[in-house]
Amino acid sequence: MSDLELEMHINGRAVKRRAAPHLRLLDFLRDDLNMTGTKEGCGAGECGTCSVFVDGKLVKSCLMPVGKANGARIETIEGLAPKGGDLTEVQRAFHKTGASQCGYCIPGMVMAATSALRENPDAGIEEIKERLGGNICRCTGYTKIFEAVEIARDVIAGRLSAAALEPDPAGNSFIGNNVRRLDAPSKVSGRLRYAGDMVMPDMLHMQVLRSPHPHARIRVIDVSAAHALPGVACVITAADVPGEDGFGVFVHDQPIMARGIVRYVGEAVAAVAAEDVLTAKEALRLIKVEYDELPAVFDPEDAMKIGAPVLHDYAPTNITKHIPIRKGDVEQGFAEADLIVEDYYETQQVEHAYLEPEAGLAYVDHDDVVTVISPSQNITHHRHMLAKIIDKPINKVRFIMSPVGGGFGGKEDMIYQGMLALAAMKSGRPVRLVYTREESIISTAKRHPARITYKMGLKNDGRITAVEFKMISDGGAYGMSTEGVMRKAAILACGPYDIPNVKIDTIGVYTNNTPSGAFRTFGAMQAQFATESHLDICAEKLGLDPFEIRRRNMMQDGAITHTQQTLGKVSIGTVLDAAETASHWEAGAPGRGESRSDLGGEGTRAPCTLGARFAPAVAKVKKEVA
Amino acid sequence: MMQRKMRGRGVAASWYGIARTATIDRAGAWAELDDGGTGKIVTGVTEIGEGILTVLAQIAAEELGVRPEDITIGDNDTARSPEAAHAGATRQTYMIGNSVALACRDARTKLDAEIAKVWGVETETIRAFNGEIWSEGSNLRMSMEEAVDLCKKRGIVPVGSGAFTAHGTGLDPVNGTGSPWQAYVFGCQVAEVEVDTVTGEVQVLGIWAAHDVGRAINPRGVEGQIEGGVVQGLGQALMEDYQLDKGHTKTHGFAKYILPTSLDIPQINTTIIEDRDPKSPLGAKGIGEPALVPTAPAIMNAIYDAVGVRIKSLPATPEKILAALAERAMRTKGVAA
Ligand code: FES
Ligand code: FES
């Protein structure tokens, strides 16, 4: 196919270029024009990070073939504020309120907010929310973004002085002061470059071949045809690893590419570095892998049964880690109880969904230092592991942590950096890898799902006498952070309560599912979900207010924890009081619903009916037309 | 007959440990009072979105006596900066923040000693803030720019280093005994929901979140962490669900894997509690992870309060709510008959 001849106005400048016809407007901006402020979060029209204006209309540039934009007037994040000039009111308001965290959604969010205020300078908060509805932010909880858009709206309309965009005065200390985020200007303007935005001269592009099977033996991998394809610099497999191949946080059970066996769908099997992404993709199709499928196991309880397929030789029972905690004598505690409540809870596997998909760039520098730039949450540990894997002294391995477009624990594992390093070493050139959203979802770790059986004994006054807690978690195909997650879940399982007798077990299990790994709260959320639900059930049975049952059991200063650590000062009482007061909580047992008098107060928003927010505006327009 | 839309409230409490679990945690940083009265900090982590660079700049500014915008942070490079270990475990403010504070104090000690000699006063009388340095109880005062210049002319580059340690101990493999963290935080959230009994949809209308963070270096940043945590908790409570079928992902895009958007967001009312940590120079603890621990159970407890059904298996999708309501209706009918 021959190139398209394109002419458009981008940020006020005439641009005349030839471009490949398969490109999307997003690729044209990012790859051909090196305007990387516009981000790719999903490539499917679902996240809004790629939002730009095309002839004044907000458009998701990942959905627009570049040919369609021919002749159009394009405005991107880079064009909102003049170069070297002031940021716009919207951008400054984002800076002021702290509306950017990782910043990856922010260029798109700023574009959507700008669009909302251009479309309706008087938009109310409900309309603003609706107009931002196509833009996902994983970090901020949107609240500071709403605040920013409202401030910008009022400043633009002259209802609020521009002073509202200025920083708070310092006072007599910078600690405790709402100093504006120092990184915000680079984020609201799209200037900050994440790993996937970085380029180096002579850079190659990597693509990864992934396992289609949950469990299989690899009989042969034939890369000869792929290697012979013009434009391919190198193909790598486990056979290229010079050192001790294995990474993981607690056990190094995961090779950087499958070594003889694949253990989950999406596991890396081979990788290609080529002159461009298309060639690399084509080369993947030429790699021949023959598999012998093996029996697989998908349920953690099945995996612990005798005769279940074993994933790793070192763990014949498929148990990755079991953490026991014992304090007092639970049997005696249950014997002393007036009420015993047993129940069962489940939490699901959850995706981190950071808006920045995994990306990295590796090269070998002039001093033979293998360097990997990536949004790694743990460069110290990655350096240790990679040095062993590529058999280099530790000072010949360098990790640079690029700005992380959301991590939440999901970027703690060294999932792809090893492949990048290997390809850079083999090709002698810089190599970049950028995951697609789908690749990120299917191949990277998730929050551990949990199955929890709970037994609690209480006195009639609500005092807990004993807890027996057992949690089984599917850790998926590799160990990753499972051991640590089980440990934290166990330690914190029974909550901030003083319980004389506890028996806690958390068990992480290997299966042929997508691995589970580190995720914000590291198991504590799953375990405490069960405890806090269970306490509510008990409160109702005993006719107690839920704050009251917690107060009767909460740890006091000097408490001894479930792991028998003696604490100093304990703030749970203060925290309970604060939440109760702030919410104007009306005391009483759970299950009172509509009879409560504390509902619908000032701390709540109005409920919404989807689509209803635009209705008044639409009705008005219709009337005017009539 | 039940009303169509029912409201209710629920509460959940939580606790969390700060920094790495059941082990010794450590981090290091270097500091320099630089030309022009600026500050240079070097440490091995960078921003993952939580605002750590701003927090470190505030700490460094406070300790060095300059302004946050005068701070340059050289971060994130294993070959150029001291170890700070990982960006996780709610350890950034606690571990790196305290390392930076200690490094800055070390640099200041050197500067202060020189300036005190020049002025002929005791080093202990030297104070600095916001780009100015002075001797307490005198009218001796100069800009930090001049002070750095003077110090260097006397042959001293005011540099410092700092390392901070948190002493956790491992757990006994049989009974789990141990002291996994030296600092703990506590939290509590109240949720108010509205349940549509016809569609099964749940809207969270309000969250009141009270969290002990030790000391809020940047209160707005703390709020941002709480708001983000609450919304991730809400996502897990009501909609997010990574699904597999015999190991194959069924939710491989955001059309299938549903995330909270602007329309799902409750009003989030934050109360920050500052119960200072006695074991660290700054007194700050942390908030990154703890913010989302109580959200899902608070929402489930509120759903129960509203409509009398308890969802014990997350997420509480409309289908699950409707099924539970139908089962409850059957049960109450059974009892009536
Ligand atoms: S909507 Fe275009 S990248 Fe997500
Ligand atoms: S700031 Fe919105 S996704 Fe991170």
Closest Cα to residue A456, out of A534, A555, A532, A524? A534
- Please answer whether residues A300 and A474 qualify as being in contact, where contact means their C-beta atoms are separated by less than 8 angstroms: yes
Mark whether A94 and A225 lie in a shared domain: no
Chain A residues closer than 8 Å to B318 by CB: none
Mark whether A243 and A381 lie in a shared domain: yes
Closest Cα to residue A349, out of A194, A202, A217, A519? A519
Active-site annotation holder among B47, B146, B227, B289 = B289
Q: Which fold has domain B20-165?
A: Aldehyde Oxidoreductase; domain 4 (3.30.365)
Q: Report how far residue B181's alpha carbon sits from residue B17's, in angstroms, rounded to the nearest whole number.
A: 6
| A143–B268 C-beta distance less than 8 A | yes
> pLDDT tens track of chain B, all 337 residues?
579 999 999 999 999 999 999 999 999 999 999 999 999 999 987 789 999 999 999 999 999 999 999 999 987 899 999 998 899 999 999 999 999 999 999 999 999 999 999 999 999 999 999 999 999 999 999 999 999 999 999 999 999 999 999 999 999 999 999 999 999 999 999 999 999 999 999 999 999 999 999 999 999 999 999 999 999 999 999 999 999 999 999 999 999 999 999 999 999 999 999 999 999 999 999 999 999 999 999 999 999 999 999 999 999 999 999 999 999 999 988 765 5
User: A401 — contact with chain B (CB < 8 Å)?
Assistant: yes
* Domain CATH number, residue A531: 3.30.365.10
Closest Cα to residue A22, out of A278, A314, A198, A360? A278
Number of domains in chain A: 3
* Ligand 1 contact, A60 CB (< 6 A): yes
Mark whether A184 and A198 lie in a shared domain: no
Mark whether A85 and A209 lie in a shared domain: no
Which chain A residue lies closest to B6 (C-alpha atoms)?
A: A594
DSSP A417-483: HHHHHHHHHHHSS-EEEE--HHHHHHHS-BBPPEEEEEEEEE-TTS-EEEEEEEEEEEEETS-TTHH
| Residue A182 belongs to some domain of the structure | yes
CA angle A554, A549, B210 (to 5 degrees): 60
Cα-based torsion angle of the residue sequence A160, A165, A171, A173 in order, rounded to the nearest 10 degrees: 150
* Domain CATH number, residue A99: 1.10.150.120
Chain A residues closer than 8 Å to B292 by CB: 520-521, 525
| A397–B78 C-beta distance less than 8 A | yes
Mark whether A80 and A165 lie in a shared domain: yes
If one counts every other C-beta atom within 10 angstroms of the C-beta of residue A620, the result is 10
> What pLDDT is recorded for position B1?
56
User: Tokens standing for B8?
Assistant: 């209710």
CA angle A414, A420, A424 (to 5 degrees): 145
Q: Report how far residue B260's alpha carbon sits from residue B236's, in angstroms, rounded to the nearest whole number.
A: 9
Distance (Å) of CA A549 to CA A265, A462, A541, A603: 46, 6, 11, 24
Mark whether A586 and A537 lie in a shared domain: yes
Name the A residues in 148-167 with CB < 8 Å from any B CB: none
- Please answer whether residues B305 and B195 qualify as being in contact, where contact means their C-beta atoms are separated by less than 8 angstroms: no
How close B160 gets to chain A, by Cα (Å)?
Answer: 21
> What pLDDT is recorded for position A626?
37
Mark whether A345 and A283 lie in a shared domain: no
Mark whether A395 and A490 lie in a shared domain: no
> What pLDDT is recorded for position A438?
98
Domain boundary among A158, A188, A218: A188
Residue B32 annotated as catalytic: no
- Please answer whether residues B238 and B263 qualify as being in contact, where contact means their C-beta atoms are separated by less than 8 angstroms: no
Q: Report how far residue A112's alpha carbon sits from residue A133's, in angstroms, rounded to the nearest whole number.
A: 9
Mark whether A493 and A591 lie in a shared domain: yes
Q: Give me ligand 2 centre to Cα A442, in Å.
A: 21
Domain boundary among A438, A459, A482: A438
| Residue A304 belongs to some domain of the structure | no
Q: Report how far residue A575's alpha carbon sits from residue B274's, in angstroms, rounded to the nearest whole number.
A: 10
User: B218 — contact with chain A (CB < 8 Å)?
Assistant: yes
| Residue A360 belongs to some domain of the structure | no
Closest Cα to residue B71, out of B82, B59, B85, B84? B59
Mark whether A64 and A178 lie in a shared domain: yes
Q: Produce one character per residue of A158-177: b if its CB has 16 or more CB atoms within 10 Å, e if not.
A: eebeeebbeeeeeeeebbbb
| Residue A364 belongs to some domain of the structure | no
DSSP A41-84: S-SSSSS-TTEEEETTEEEETTSSBGGGGTT-EEE-HHHHS-TT
Which chain B residue lies closest to A187 (C-alpha atoms)?
A: B49
Whether omega before A185 lies within 30 degrees of 0, making that bond cis, reads no
Which chain B residue lies closest to A329 (C-alpha atoms)?
A: B175
Mark whether A250 and A181 lie in a shared domain: no
- Please answer whether residues A117 and A90 qualify as being in contact, where contact means their C-beta atoms are separated by less than 8 angstroms: yes
Residue with tokens 């952070």: A481
Q: What is the residue range of A17's domain?
A: 4-188
Q: Which pTM value belongs to this model?
A: 0.97
- Helix (H/G/I), strand (E/B), else coil: A195: helix
- Please answer whether residues B9 and A599 qualify as being in contact, where contact means their C-beta atoms are separated by less than 8 angstroms: yes
| Residue A246 belongs to some domain of the structure | yes
| Residue A362 belongs to some domain of the structure | no
> What pLDDT is recorded for position A403?
96
For residue B135, the one-letter residue type is S
- Helix (H/G/I), strand (E/B), else coil: B172: coil
- Please answer whether residues A32 and A25 qualify as being in contact, where contact means their C-beta atoms are separated by less than 8 angstroms: no
* Ligand 1 contact, A300 CB (< 6 A): no
Q: Between 2.60.120.1440, 3.40.50.1000, 1.10.274.10, 3.30.365.10, what CATH number should domain B5-17+181-336 receive?
A: 3.30.365.10
> What pLDDT is recorded for position B336?
59
Domain boundary among A406, A438, A470: A438
DSSP A368-388: --EEEEE--S-HHHHHHHHHH
Partner-chain residue, chosen from B61, B209, B263, that has the shortest CB–CB distance to A608: B263
If one counts every other C-beta atom within 10 angstroms of the C-beta of residue A609, the result is 9
| Residue A209 belongs to some domain of the structure | yes
The pairing of strands A431-434 and A397-401 is unpaired
* Ligand 1 contact, A58 CB (< 6 A): no
Phi then psi dihedrals of residue B121, to 5 deg: -125, 170
| Residue A126 belongs to some domain of the structure | yes
pLDDT averaged over consecutive 10-residue blocks of chain A (626 residues)?
90 96 96 97 98 98 98 97 87 98 98 98 96 98 98 98 92 95 97 98 98 98 98 98 96 97 98 98 98 98 98 98 98 98 98 98 98 96 97 98 96 96 98 98 98 98 98 98 98 98 98 98 98 98 98 98 98 98 98 93 89 47 41
Q: Which ligand is nearest to the CA of B262?
A: 2
* Contact partners, residue A620, CB within 8 Å, separation at least 6: none
* Domain CATH number, residue A431: 3.90.1170.50
B20-165 has the same fold as B5-17+181-336 = yes
Closest Cα to residue A40, out of A49, A31, A30? A49
Q: Produce one character per residue of A429-444: b if its CB has 16 or more CB atoms within 10 Å, e if not.
A: bbbbbbbbbbbbbbbb
Phi then psi dihedrals of residue A427, to 5 deg: -90, -20
Nearest CA to ligand 2 atom 3: A137
Could you tell me the maximum CA-CA distance found in chain B, to the nearest angstrom? 95
Mark whether A21 and A135 lie in a shared domain: yes
How close A437 gets to chain B, by Cα (Å)?
Answer: 7
Nearest CA to ligand 2 atom 4: A102
CA quadruple A592, A593, A599, A603: dihedral sign: positive
pLDDT tens for each residue of A20-73? 999 999 999 999 999 999 999 999 999 999 999 999 999 999 999 999 999 999
Name the residue ranges covered by the structural domains of chain B: 5-17+181-336, 20-165
